[in-house]
Amino acid sequence: MSFIQKLWLDSLSKTISTLAAAAILAVLAAAWGYVTKVQWTSTVEMPLWRVVVWALFTLLCVVWIALAATFGVKNAIVRPVEAEVPVPESAANAQPESTSPFSEVALDSPLRLRFRYFKPRQPFSDAPTSGDKQWDGTFLAAFKLIGPKLRMEPVERDVLRAFNKALAVELDYEAVHVVDNDFQAMKIRLENFGVIYFDKQSKQLHWCLTDNGVKLLSKLHQ
């Protein structure tokens, strides 16, 4: 809602309150006149106590209306109205700070991933075409494999699919499927190392590169 709309609605509500107070006063005055049998067009003799009560009642009503009108005007004009300030696009798309300081040396720490491999059967060979193995590398090497895919900020299932494909090419297998628990652990460590962050859009988790991640990826693929 815009500033003008808020100011207009605020003024309207206070005006309605003031009119309602005046209407109540008119009704009370009419009721009082009916009870006391006052004829407004003729002179009526009333006891002194009735005159005092009538005067006090009228004074209180006048003060009440004056306060209501003053409060309404003060709130409609003097009170600042909170205007909606548009969020700059740069602030809306700001990347969250990593919980750990970025260090390329820390990324070079060892990483072990368990996976299941598949390869085509060789003619005249009894070698197995599938099995379970493990990859011993580093987080830096894993980031180098998966980093280029992250420039498009993919959803997690696409990241896993791309990583499996890249690892299969690296190890010369037809297909590779990394164990999900190992993949999730790698994901959390890469976030802690400050090279990626996550953005949840439409109930899907997107992998994104931090500024440090973009710089490191450019360095690794020079």
Reported as a single tens digit per residue, the pLDDT across 112-147 is 999 999 988 777 677 778 899 999 999 999 999 999
User: pLDDT-based confidence at 29, cuts 50/70/90?
Assistant: low
Average pLDDT over residues 6-15: 62
User: Which residues is 110 bridged to in the sheet?
Assistant: 138
* 191 touches 206 (CB < 8 A): no
Q: Name which of 172, 197, 176 is nearest 113 in CA terms.
A: 176
* pLDDT for res 58: 73
Which has the minimum average pLDDT: 87-101, 124-138, 153-167, 178-192?
87-101
153-181: average pLDDT = 95
Residues 6+ positions from 214 with CB-CB distance below 8 Å: none
pLDDT of residue 78: 45
| Concatenated DSSP letters of 46-94 | --HHHHHHHHHHHHHHHHHHHHHHHHHHIIIIISPPPPPPPPPHHHHTP
> Tens of pLDDT along 48-91?
666 666 677 777 776 666 666 665 545 544 444 444 555 455 44
pLDDT at 123: 74
Mind listing the pLDDT tens digit for each residue in 186-198?
999 999 999 999 9
Q: What's the rounded Cα separation, in Å, for the pair 161 and 25?
A: 76
CA Rg value for the chain: 39
Residue of 207 and 69 predicted with greater confidence: 207
